[in-house]
Amino acid sequence: MVPVLIGNVIMNNTVNGVTDYTTPMTIFAAFGLVAVLLAVLLKSVDKKGGYGLEKKNMQ
C-alpha cells in the first residue's frame, strides 16, 4: 500500500524527466513521526495499565 502511494506521488512529481522527491520524503517523515507518537502512547498506556510490555518474557 505504501509503495503504491509513494510510486504514484513520484510519478505525479516528475516533470520533463526530473523528479522532485520532497513530497515522498515528507510522507516518510510523517510515518516516522506517527510511529514515535504511537510508541509514546503505548508506553504511557503500559505504565498506567501495568501490562508489563517491557518485561522480559523468558526466565
Cα separation of 25 and 32, whole Å? 11
| pLDDT higher than threshold 80 for residue 59 | no
Percent of the chain with pLDDT over 70: 100
Instruction: Return the SS3 of 8.
Output: helix
> CB burial class (10 A; 0-12, 13-18, 19+) of residue 27?
middle
pLDDT at res. 52 = 86
pLDDT at res. 55 = 87
- The three three-digit cell numbers of residue 58, written as one number: 523468558
pLDDT at res. 56 = 86
Across the chain, what does the average pLDDT equal?
Answer: 93
pLDDT digits (tens, 9 = 90+) for 20-38: 999 999 999 999 999 999 9
Cα separation of 31 and 6, whole Å? 12
Angle between helix 22-49 and helix 2-12 axes, rounded to 10 deg: 150
Q: Would you list the domain boundaries of the chain?
A: 2-46
